Structure 1
C-alpha cells in the first residue's frame, strides 16, 4: 500500500526522534580504536572531544524537536535540517562515525522531500524568550569566571582572565581542560557550567517548539452570527449557548451555516460541545477548525460533544472518540415527586418548605437592575473560593443584559437569598444549567428544592426539558457498584472514588441520579493518544481546576 505524504511526515517525526537517540548513544560510547587512531593523526584530541560533546547536544535538541515536527512546525523543520547538517560533520570529526553521518544526511534528505508537510506557523515569540535562550550561556560564562576567580588557589597553574573565560565556555559542554588541586572544586565547577549548558539546550528547544497563541474573545460580528445560528439551531445541543463565552474564539464553515467555538491553551485547540448550526454544514466547520489547528501546530480536541457530533468528528475529521460521561436531562412533562424512587428528593423538598423557604422563577429580562445586583452579590458570596470555574457548561456571567432569555431560580428565607440556579436557553423549549449556588449554612436539600421549583414552573416558561450537570464516567459508577462487576471495572471505580476526594466525581453523579433523569452520553474527541495528557491539562486549565499563579497569568497561552 502506498504511503501518503501526511503519513510519511509522521514517520519522519518518529525517525527524527530515533536519530536523536542514536546521536546521544554514539556520544556516550567510545570511538572505535582503529578509527580513533587514524583520526588522531589529523586532528587534535581536544577538537574530537569538543565534537563529541557537540554531538550529544545535537542529539538532545533533535529529540526535543521531534515533537515540533509531529505538530508540523516549520521552525522545527528548519532547526532539524540545520542540526542534521551539523551532525554530518561532527560525527566524522568526533570519531569517523560514518554510519551516524549517513543517518543524519538521510534524515535531512527525507525532510527536504517532505518540506510541504511542515507548514505550521511559527510561534509569536515574546521578547524575553530569545533573550533567555541567548543569555543562558553568557550567564554561564560569567558565573564560571567568577567561580574560578574566587577559587584561584584551587587551580593548578596560572591562568589569565581570557583563559578563564575560554575554560568557562568550554565547561558549558563539559570540555574544560582545567586542572584542580581537589576533586570537590572540579565537581562544583563542572556542575555549575554543565547546568548552564543544559539550560541553554532546553531553552533553545523550547523556543522552537512553542506553539502559536490565540487571544480568546468574540468580536461583535462573530457573536451576532453565532446568535443567529443559535436562534435556528440552538435546540440541537444543550451546550450550544455556552459558545457565547467571551473567552472562546469561533470559526465558521465556508458557507457560514455552522461554527465551532474553541479556546487555545497549552498548544491545544479545545472545542466544547457540538458544532453550532446546520448539521449538514458541520463537516465544513470541522475542516476549517482542523485546518487552522494544523496551520498553528495545535492539537485538536473536543470536550463533551454528543454522539452525533462525535461520529461527525470521527468521519470527517479523523478524530478518535472516547466516552467521557453522561449528561443528565430532565423531561419536565414526565417529572413527578410521586413514587418510592423519588422519596429522597420529596423529603428534601418538604424539609426546605417547612423551614419557610420560598422560590421564585424569572427570566433575566423581567428583573430590574437592583434585583440583578442582589443576585450577583449573593452568587459571589456563595462561591466556594475566588476562582470562577467552568468552560464547557458555564457562561460565567449572571444577569447580563445580552442574555435576556436566561432563567434564574431564587430561594429566599426571611427575605434573604439562600440559594439560586441560573439557566441558559437550550433552543426555544429547553434550559441548560449554568450556575448553582447556595448559602453554606442553608437547610439541607436546597439544591433539590431549587431544581424542583424550576421543573414546576417549566410549563409557564414554555420549557419541556432541562439539562442538569454533567457526570464524568457515570457508567463506571453505575455499573461498578452492581453485583457481578468484573475486577477491571471495580478497580476503575475504586480509582475514580479516590479521585472524587479532590474533584467530587461521584457526588456529582449521585446528585443528578436522584432526579431519575434521562442520560445522554458525551464524548472526548482527539487526534492522537499521545496528545491526551496535554489535552487533559488544557481541559483542567479551561475548567479552572488548574490555575496558574497570578504572576504567571499575564503570559499564559
Structure 2
C-alpha cells in the first residue's frame, strides 16, 4: 500500500505534461483488463435480469406505454445481448478494435432493451457507464485483427459457461413454483415472467453454441497486404545491403510479404502460418536500421493479433533481438567454407581430390551460366527436376527453400554439371552485394548420379575462389550442435533428441556429414520469438510453411 501511495505522490509531483502522459499510459495499459471485467459483468447482469421477474409496478407502467410484443422482444434481445457481451469481454482483453466497437453497440442495445422490457433504469445506467468508460479507453484497443483471431482460452470458456449456468439456475429457482406446460412457449402476457425467461434461456443457449462454434474454429491472421514482390525496390535494397546472407535472395520467390524501412533501404520478408508471422532471416539492408525494423515488425504483428518470429538469425545479431524484447534459441548450424584458405592440396584433401578426378575421368564437366541463359536450358532442367521429385516422392518447397519456378530461377546464375555433353545436375546460385558470400539454392540431379553433388560442390568452391568470393555458404544443418545436457532449455534438449533419432525421417546426421567433407567452420543459427513458450510453435510453423503442410513435411 505504501508503494502505491509513493507512486501516486511521485506522479502528482511531476510537471503536468509528464504526469498527463504517464496517466494516459497507465489508462492504456489497464483499460483492457478493466474493460474485460466490466463488460463481462454487464453480460452477467443482463442474463440475470432476463432470468428473474421485473418489478411489478414498473412492468405495469411499461405495459401501459407499449404493446406486449415490444416487451417480449426487448426481453429476448436483452438475453442475446448478455451472451454477446460475455464473449466480447475476452475480445477486449486482446485489445481488438472490432470487439470494442461491437461491445459499444451491444451495450447500447442492452440498455435500451432493459428499459423497454421493465424500465430497469439502474441496469441501463450501469451499462451506459460501462459504455462511457469504453469510449474513454478507445486508444487501448488498437488491434485490427478479426474478432475470432484470438481463440478462447480454457479459462474464458469456463467463465462463460459458469455465468450461463448461474443465470439458468437463478431462473429455474425463481420460477420453481410454475409447473411446466407446453403452452408456456406461446404464452405472451405482460404479468407472467416464466414464459419470457424460458424463451430467453433457450435463445441464450442457442446463441452460445453458435458463438462457440464460430470462435473456436481456426482462423488465420492474414497480413494486411498481398504478397507481391517489388523487384525494383528489392534489387535496390540487396545492392546496397550491409553484410547480407545469401538467403536474402528468397525475396524473389513470390511467397512472402514485405515491410520496408522509412528510408526504403531495408526490408523484412515474412510469411504467415496461422497466427505466427515468420520473418525469413534478419532485416536485410542497413545495419543501423536493424533494431528499428525488428520493432516495426513486432508492432505490425501486435496490431493484427499475430505472434512474430525470426527464423535463421546469425549469432552476431542476437543482441539486437534481445534488446527488442525477444528470446532466442539455437536451431542448428550453417557450414561456411573460407575460400582464400581452401585448397585441394595435402593429405587431408585426398578424398575430395580423388573424387574430383574420378568424376572428371567419367566425363563430367562444370560451368556457371549467366541468368539470361536459363530460358534456353529450361526444358532440360525441368526434366531433371521432375525426375528428381519423382524419385524422392517429393514436392516443391517454399519460404526458406527455393523451388523450380522459371520466374524465380531466371534471376540467378545457374551451375551446370554435364556428362558427355548432357546436363545431369544443376543448381541456382545466390550471390550477395560486394562479392563476399555466395551459396547454392535449388539442387537437382538425374537419378543414377551418386557422386555428382560432391563434384558440384567441389567445383563451386573452386569457382568461387577464382572469382574473388570470400565465403561459400553450404547452408544450414538443422538441429546440429544442440546440447542435450540436463540444464539445457527444453526446446534445445528436444531438438538434440530429434537430431540423434530422426535420421530415418530426415537424415540430419547424414546432411552434416556430407557438408563436413569440405571442412567448413560451423556457425550457430537461431530463432527469435516473443517468449520461450512460443519458440517450439514458431519452429514447427516454420517447418510446415517451408514444406507446404503436414502431409508434405517429410517428403
Task: Give the structure-1-normalised TM-score.
Answer: 0.66
- Provide the secondary structure at the position in 1 that maps to 2:523: strand
- Give the match for residue 433 of structure 1: 440
Q: Greater CA radius of gyration, 1 or 2?
A: 2
Match of 2:333 among 326, 332, 335: 326
How far residue 279 of structure 1 moved from its aligned partner, in angstroms, is 1.1
Contact 1:74 1:120 in 2 (8 A): yes
Question: Within 2, Cα distance between the matches of 1:528 and 1:457?
Answer: 43
Contact 1:265 1:542 in 2 (8 A): yes
- Give the match for residue 449 of structure 2: 442
Where do residues 385-464 of structure 1 align in structure 2 (5 Å cutoff)?
Answer: 385=393, 387-394=395-402, 397=405, 403-404=411-412, 406-408=413-415, 410-413=416-419, 415-427=421-433, 428-443=435-450, 445-464=451-470
* 1:99-120 Cα shifts (integer Å, max 9, x gaps): x999988876664443213233
- The alignment status of 1:216 with 2:227, answered yes or no, reads yes
Question: Within 2, Cα distance between the matches of 1:302 and 1:203?
Answer: 31
- Give the match for residue 150 of structure 1: none
Contact 1:275 1:309 in 2 (8 A): no
Report the CA distance shift for 1:9/1:396 in structure 2 as closer, same or farther (over 3 A). farther
- Give the match for residue 62 of structure 1: 89
Contact 1:121 1:295 in 2 (8 A): yes
- Give the match for residue 546 of structure 2: 543
- Give the match for residue 186 of structure 1: none
Report the CA distance shift for 1:376/1:215 in structure 2 as closer, same or farther (over 3 A). same
Question: Within 1, Cα distance between the matches of 2:36 and 2:493?
Answer: 38
- The alignment status of 1:312 with 2:320, answered yes or no, reads yes
- Give the match for residue 268 of structure 2: 260
How far residue 252 of structure 1 moved from its aligned partner, in angstroms, is 2.5
Match of 1:465 among 446, 466, 471: 471
Question: Within 2, Cα distance between the matches of 1:487 and 1:227?
Answer: 40
- Give the match for residue 366 of structure 2: 360
- Give the match for residue 214 of structure 2: 203
Contact 1:213 1:264 in 2 (8 A): no
- Provide the secondary structure at the position in 2 that maps to 1:450: helix
How far residue 216 of structure 1 moved from its aligned partner, in angstroms, is 0.1
Question: Within 2, Cα distance between the matches of 1:361 and 1:291?
Answer: 46
How far residue 353 of structure 1 moved from its aligned partner, in angstroms, is 2.6
Where do residues 502-513 of structure 1 align in structure 2 (5 Å cutoff)?
Answer: 502-513=505-516
How far residue 306 of structure 1 moved from its aligned partner, in angstroms, is 2.0
- Provide the secondary structure at the position in 2 that maps to 1:244: helix
* 1:100-159 Cα shifts (integer Å, max 9, x gaps): 99998887666444321323346699xxxxxxxxxxxxxxxxxxxxxxxxxxxxx96799
- Provide the secondary structure at the position in 1 that maps to 2:246: coil
Match of 1:175 among 199, 202, 217: 202
- Give the match for residue 241 of structure 1: 249
Contact 2:335 2:515 in 1 (8 A): yes
Match of 2:310 among 302, 310, 320: 302
How far residue 25 of structure 1 moved from its aligned partner, in angstroms, is 9.6
Contact 1:121 1:212 in 2 (8 A): no
How far residue 423 of structure 1 moved from its aligned partner, in angstroms, is 1.9
- Give the match for residue 526 of structure 2: 523
Report the CA distance shift for 1:412/1:475 in structure 2 as closer, same or farther (over 3 A). same
- The alignment status of 1:79 with 2:102, answered yes or no, reads yes
How far residue 392 of structure 1 moved from its aligned partner, in angstroms, is 3.0
Contact 2:365 2:419 in 1 (8 A): no
- Give the match for residue 66 of structure 2: none
- Provide the secondary structure at the position in 2 that maps to 1:62: helix
Question: Within 2, Cα distance between the matches of 1:106 and 1:322?
Answer: 47
Question: Within 2, Cα distance between the matches of 1:498 and 1:21?
Answer: 49
Unaligned runs of 5+ in 2: 1-6, 12-21, 60-70, 118-122, 149-180, 189-195
* 1:329-372 Cα shifts (integer Å, max 9, x gaps): 122333356778778x6499369738936141313347464334
Report the CA distance shift for 1:232/1:395 in structure 2 as closer, same or farther (over 3 A). farther
Aligned residues: 477
Task: Give the structure-2-normalised TM-score.
Answer: 0.66
Unaligned runs of 5+ in 1: 95-99, 126-154, 163-168, 177-192, 550-557
Question: Within 1, Cα distance between the matches of 2:275 and 2:534?
Answer: 10
How far residue 90 of structure 1 moved from its aligned partner, in angstroms, is 10
Contact 2:76 2:200 in 1 (8 A): no
Larger displacement relative to structure 2 (19-28 or 421-430)? 19-28
- Provide the secondary structure at the position in 1 that maps to 2:271: strand
Report the CA distance shift for 1:325/1:42 in structure 2 as closer, same or farther (over 3 A). farther
Contact 2:396 2:403 in 1 (8 A): no
Report the CA distance shift for 1:80/1:403 in structure 2 as closer, same or farther (over 3 A). same
